[in-house]
Structure formats: structure tokens, C-alpha cells
Amino acid sequence: MPELPNPNILNPFVLMDPSVAPAVALIVMAASVSASFLIARYFFKSYSFSGFGYLLGFPAGFAFLGLSYLFQYASWALANDAVMYPAFFWMQVILQSEGITLIALSYHFKNNPGDSGKVTFRQGMQAIARYKLKHVLVVVLPVLVVSVSFIIPSSAFVSAPYFNYPRLADLSFVMTVFNIAVLGYIFKSAIISLVKAANAKLLYAPVAFALLALEQYSLVLTYFDNSSVAFAGSLAVRVAGLALLVYAMRHAIRMAAARRRDLEIEA
């Protein structure tokens, strides 16, 4: 009888061939972390220059994503530690979902800026009072995601000193599905905004977010069949998605500089 795969694999790096896993983990982590922090840095500069509140979610989200990739590597590096391995895995899952949620919030508040681009607790309450389901979800969901990340481990620590592997594996599956839904929203918002601005030539960003959604889908496949091929695919599309976003930003900055040079030459 063939051996059934372990349904509670947390960090899929453990599925990879041990002879290549260290190099792959290190390269993918270094590429993902540097790309995420580079994006965060560029957009944080934009936020601090403009002061537009809605822009803050974008760099914060990518900084969270960068941290989540660091924790993914750390959890794999400490795969033999019964406490640190699941603890770092939990950090990775939560930070990734929160990062993606923050990026989505940037898109949401860009489309619904209100008076100042910032949404206060009072506005959230007013939205609830007006039964605007969409607004209620947008205000409540991030709060839920954040609170779940604190409630679950707290209760787990109280009930048992060690993490519950099957529960964590299930949590990661639920969060992955949540990530796919949120990335779908980001993809839709980015594409609508670019088409409205007649900027359809610059579709790099929606494609990059589609690749990040594909990464999450590959992780779902990995969850179900413990396939190292699906996991390797998820790593490849993640790095491709982040690289594409970095390319889109550098391309945009080069275009702005070239436009400026042309104007100066004309003058």
C-alpha cells in the first residue's frame, strides 16, 4: 500500500530534495525579501513626499510580505525545533495575509478616498450604520485578520505549550484562500484603474498581482498533494511577480526622467 502524504506539512521547503533545498531557500528568500523591501522603500518615499494616507498601505504591505518571506526561511532553517518551527510558520502565514490585506486597502481607499484619504473609526461606524455591506467588510475584515492572528496562538499557548500542527496547517490553508480572494480584488482594482487612466500599456502591475495569486493557488495544490513541483512553481511565480513589480516601478521612474529630459531639451 503506498504511503499517504503527511497532511500537516507546514513549511513546504521540507518537501524539497535536501541537497538543493538550502540553496533554493536562500536564493528565493534573498530575491523575495530584497524585491519586497525595494518596493516598500520606493512607495514609502512617495507616501512621505505626498502625505496621501491611502498610499501607506502599499509600502507597509510589501514590508510585511518581505518579513513573511524572512520568517518562511527561518521556520525552514529551524525545522527540527518543535517550538520555533511552527511559531515562525505562523508568523509567516499571518504577516503574508496582513501584507496582502494592507495592499488591498490602499487600492480600496484610493477609489473611495472620502475627505482626506484616511478612514476613521467614526466613518467605519457610519458605514455600518448605513448597512453598506462592502464598506462594512472592508473595515471589519482587516480587524478580523489582525485579531485572529493574536487570538489563535494566545489560546493555543494557554491550552498547550506547543503548537497544534493540524490546526496550523488548516489555518494556513484558510489564509491562502483568503489571500487569493484579496489578490483578486487587487488585480481587478489595478486593471480598472490603469484602463480608466488610458494606461493599458502598463499592465505589469496587474500581471504581477496575478502571478502572486498564482503562487497562492500553487500553495493550495501543495497543501493537498504535498507536491514539491507545485511548491517550486509557487516560488518561481512569486519571484517573477515581485521582479515584474520592481521592473514596472523602475520603468515608470525612467519614463518620468526621460519626459523631464525631453522638456528640458525643448526649453
Partner 1 sequence: MRHEKRHRLQLYYDILCAIEEDTFRNGDARPTRIQHYSRLSYDKMVNHFAEMESRGMMQHTPEGLLTITAKGRKFIEQYDELTTLIESVGL
Interface positions with partner 1 (CB under 8 A): 42-43, 46, 49-50, 52, 54-55, 58, 106-107, 110, 189-194, 197, 199, 202, 204-206, 245, 248-249, 251-253, 255-257, 259-260, 263, 266-267
- Amino acid identity of 234? S
DSSP readout, 59-86? HHHHHHHHHHHHHHHHHHHTTT-TTHHH
State the Cα–Cα distance between residues 196 and 210, nearest whole angstrom.
19
Residue 194 CB, shortest distance to partner 1, in Å, is: 5
Q: Among residues 78 and 202, whose Cβ is nearest to partner 1?
A: 202
Residue 248 CB, shortest distance to partner 1, in Å, is: 5
Q: Among residues 108 and 135, whose Cβ is nearest to partner 1?
A: 108
Q: Among residues 55 and 232, whose Cβ is nearest to partner 1?
A: 55
Phi/psi-derived region of residue 226, left when phi > 0, alpha when psi is between -120 and 50, beta in every other case = left
Q: Among residues 55 and 70, whose Cβ is nearest to partner 1?
A: 55
Q: Which three cell numbers stand for residue 58?
A: 502599499
Residue 4 CB, shortest distance to partner 1, in Å, is: 43
Residue 192 CB, shortest distance to partner 1, in Å, is: 8
Burial class (CB in 10 A: 0-12, 13-18, 19+), 116: exposed
DSSP helix/strand/coil, 115: coil
Q: Among residues 193 and 228, whose Cβ is nearest to partner 1?
A: 193
Residue 58 CB, shortest distance to partner 1, in Å, is: 7
State the Cα–Cα distance between residues 169 and 171, nearest whole angstrom.
5
